[in-house]
Chain A
Amino acid sequence: ADDLTLQLKWVTQAQFAGYYVAKDKGFYEEEGLDVTIKPGGPDIAPVQVLLGGGADVMVDWLPSALAAREKGAPIVNIAQPFAKSGLMLTCLKEHGIESPEDFPGNTLGTWFFGNEIPLMSWMGKLGYATDGSEGGVTIQKINFNVDPLLQKQVECATTMTYNEYWQVIDAGLTPEDLVVFKYEDEGISTLEDGLYTTEENLEDPEMVDKLARFVRASMKGWKYAEENVEEAAEIVLENDQTGAQTEKHQTRMMGEIAKLTKGSDGRLDEAAFDRSAAITMEGGMITKEPEGAWTHDITDKALQ
């Protein structure tokens, strides 16, 4: 079988269920592939792994991929299994925040590493300064958890529909205690969890063929996961080597993830791409309109 390595953007969880399902259910094997899945983490820049030769394909979010490309990393989007964004801003109701008008004077926590960009451009659109000055908001960098929100170090915090939000709920708060602003609803969403490879790989016909088979099998995995939420969560759990994930949380996450992948057959939506690129540019993360940052070649081949 042909070897192929996939670098994830984050730790093993239902966010990447499609790939684990494809592997466990033998979809990759059917395509003659032997796929290795490398989990990510906060200190892994998948682009570096990809360029360093540690992986053939990676999962990344579009803004950070575009930024990397502009910095000279020749990476290209080859498929987009996620149709919608799961990012949102979650606030405690007790702070009296009901709509974006109430933001000024408050501290908004967000992850950095490029994840702050949509929030920055949103604040730009709303006309708020982000340096804590009068009439503006304070942006606070927070870690990948919701502790600062619970401990009231910030009034609002970035969460994913499928993960951090539920941690807030698990901590004992009810949906009624919270106010959420989905990026998707505010018109500032960017594309998440796409598949990327290097330009060099795309010049090699053999590799292109491998990638097409990979994307086909992966999408089959995704669709299977959408249909069989519980089984998919189970598979993810089995693949988690930290032994830290719980069944309850992963099943729920799979349910939410299914909502985001539902609209996609893997083909990148050009309009969504352009919108994401524009927002990324407004946020200042890239300076030029990206060119050649995506291709339909692979999905076209895969979906034949």
Chain B
Amino acid sequence: MRNIIPILTVVGLLILVWYGAAIALNAQWARDVAARADKTLTFSELVADTWSQEKPKLPAPHQVGAELWETTVMKKVTSKRSLVYHTWVTFSATFLGFVMGTALGTLLAVGIVFNRTMDMSVMPWVIASQTIPILAIAPMIIVVLNAVGLSGLLPKAIISMYLSFFPVVVGMVKGLRSPDQMQLDQMRTWHASGMQTFWKLRLPSSMPYFFTSLKVGVAASLVGAIVGEMPTGAVAGLGARLLAGSYYGQTVQIWSALIMAAALAAVMVGLIGLVQRVTLKRMGMAQ
């Protein structure tokens, strides 16, 4: 709870900057409107206007706040107009994709650490796969999956997995290789099998890397889920809200979806941080 004051301070500062930026970015429009009506604005009128436009370049915090209130608290959570509903849709895909991505990433890392063939031949292609712009092939993935009868949550989760497995691979390869020579030598003297070395030595030593990867991975998952919502017709989810908002120039709506997505990410990253602290503490690695 001692975190509250620092967080509030930082958030307070951010909001202040935000209000300032809103004036700067929205002033042009306010002046144009006034000019068309043959008026000139005093400074206070200008400020009032920049904080209350219907389609501002940057909506003021209270506008976003009001929209968030409107679309979360004031709507039934099952309603399509409820942001809670859309957040849930995105979260399901994110979570599934994250779980699959973590599993795939860990498996690949294990393969790479234990098998020289995989280390030498697969890693470069894993990297190359990540440079393929996901938005470009997402539609093809969806089409292909559709053709084999997969639709709904899974295609989105797969795209989300595609983005999240990479940080896990990179982090885990390093983590699984972090035991030092003596620790490995001990395992050798006991003639531990590969599996035992993995479970009893490599995996525990990789924990700091593992959790760091998870944090990055879950954020990537969310991006993936949102990207994945577009070629599936962008019918529901935060991505769909973002897109729809963008088609109709609803900046307030875009920002509230953005804030919601960021909050979702922050909560997930925070949860992983919590698990990390508890786990490392129980492992005696943090004091």
Tell me if chains A and B make direct contact, with any CB pair below 8 A.
yes
Residues of A within 8 A of B (CB): 11-12, 38-45, 48-49, 52-54, 143-147, 150-152, 167, 170-173, 177, 240-245, 249
In the complex the two chains form, what is the Cα distance from A54 to B81 in whole Å?
28
Q: Inside 8 A of B79's CB, which chain A residues have their CB? A: 243
Contacting A at CB under 8 A, from B15-47, are: 28-29, 33, 36
Question: Is B55's CB within 8 Å of the partner chain A?
Answer: yes
Question: Is B80's CB within 8 Å of the partner chain A?
Answer: yes
Residue of B nearest to A151 (CB): B57
Residue contact B80 to A243, C-beta cutoff 8 Å: yes
Question: Is B274's CB within 8 Å of the partner chain A?
Answer: no
Q: Inside 8 A of A145's CB, which chain B residues have their CB? A: 246-249
Residue contact A171 to B249, C-beta cutoff 8 Å: yes
The one of B36, B80, B140, B246 in contact with A241, judged by C-beta atoms closer than 8 angstroms, is: B80
Residue contact B249 to A147, C-beta cutoff 8 Å: yes
Known: A41-B230, A54-B146, A147-B249. A242 touches B139 (CB 8 A): no
Known: A41-B243, A43-B230, A172-B54. A244 touches B253 (CB 8 A): yes
CB distance from B256 to the nearest CB of A (A): 11
Contacting A at CB under 8 A, from B237-266, are: 240-241, 243-250, 253
Q: Inside 8 A of A147's CB, which chain B residues have their CB? A: 249
- The total of interchain contacts (Cβ-Cβ below 8 angstroms) comes to 100
In the complex the two chains form, what is the Cα distance from A44 to B246 in whole Å?
17
Residue contact A52 to B144, C-beta cutoff 8 Å: yes
Contact size class for B?
35 or more
Q: List 28 A-B contacts (CB under 8 A).
A: A11-B233, A11-B243, A11-B247, A39-B235, A41-B230, A42-B243, A43-B135, A43-B231, A48-B140, A53-B147, A143-B246, A144-B246, A144-B247, A145-B247, A150-B29, A151-B29, A152-B28, A167-B249, A170-B54, A172-B54, A177-B36, A241-B236, A242-B241, A242-B244, A243-B241, A244-B241, A244-B253, A249-B248
Residue of B nearest to A12 (CB): B235
Q: Inside 8 A of B244's CB, which chain A residues have their CB? A: 11, 242, 244-245
For the complex with contacts A145-B249, A146-B249, 20 further pairs of A-B residues with Cβ separation under 8 Å are A11-B244, A38-B233, A39-B233, A39-B234, A39-B235, A40-B233, A43-B231, A48-B140, A48-B143, A54-B147, A143-B246, A145-B248, A167-B248, A171-B54, A171-B249, A241-B236, A242-B234, A242-B243, A244-B248, A245-B244
Question: Is B212's CB within 8 Å of the partner chain A?
Answer: no
Q: Inside 8 A of B243's CB, which chain A residues have their CB? A: 11, 41-42, 242
CB distance from B133 to the nearest CB of A (A): 11
CB distance from A43 to the nearest CB of B (A): 5
Specify the main secondary structure of chain B where it touches its partner.
helix
Specify the main secondary structure of chain A where it touches its partner.
loop
In the complex the two chains form, what is the Cα distance from A47 to B212 in whole Å?
42
Question: Is B82's CB within 8 Å of the partner chain A?
Answer: yes
Residue contact A241 to B235, C-beta cutoff 8 Å: yes
CB distance from B276 to the nearest CB of A (A): 36
In the complex the two chains form, what is the Cα distance from A33 to B230 in whole Å?
28
Q: Inside 8 A of A53's CB, which chain B residues have their CB? A: 146-147
Encode contact with A along B137-150: 1 for CB under 8 Å, 0 otherwise.
01110111011000
Residue contact A52 to B146, C-beta cutoff 8 Å: yes
Q: Inside 8 A of A54's CB, which chain B residues have their CB? A: 142-143, 146-147
In the complex the two chains form, what is the Cα distance from A147 to B26 in whole Å?
13
Residue contact B55 to A150, C-beta cutoff 8 Å: yes
Residue contact A49 to B235, C-beta cutoff 8 Å: no
Q: Inside 8 A of A44's CB, which chain B residues have their CB? A: 139, 231, 233
Encode contact with A along B119-163: 1 for CB under 8 Å, 0 otherwise.
000000000000000010011101110110000000000000000
Q: Inside 8 A of A49's CB, which chain B residues have their CB? A: 143, 146
Q: Inside 8 A of B246's CB, which chain A residues have their CB? A: 143-145
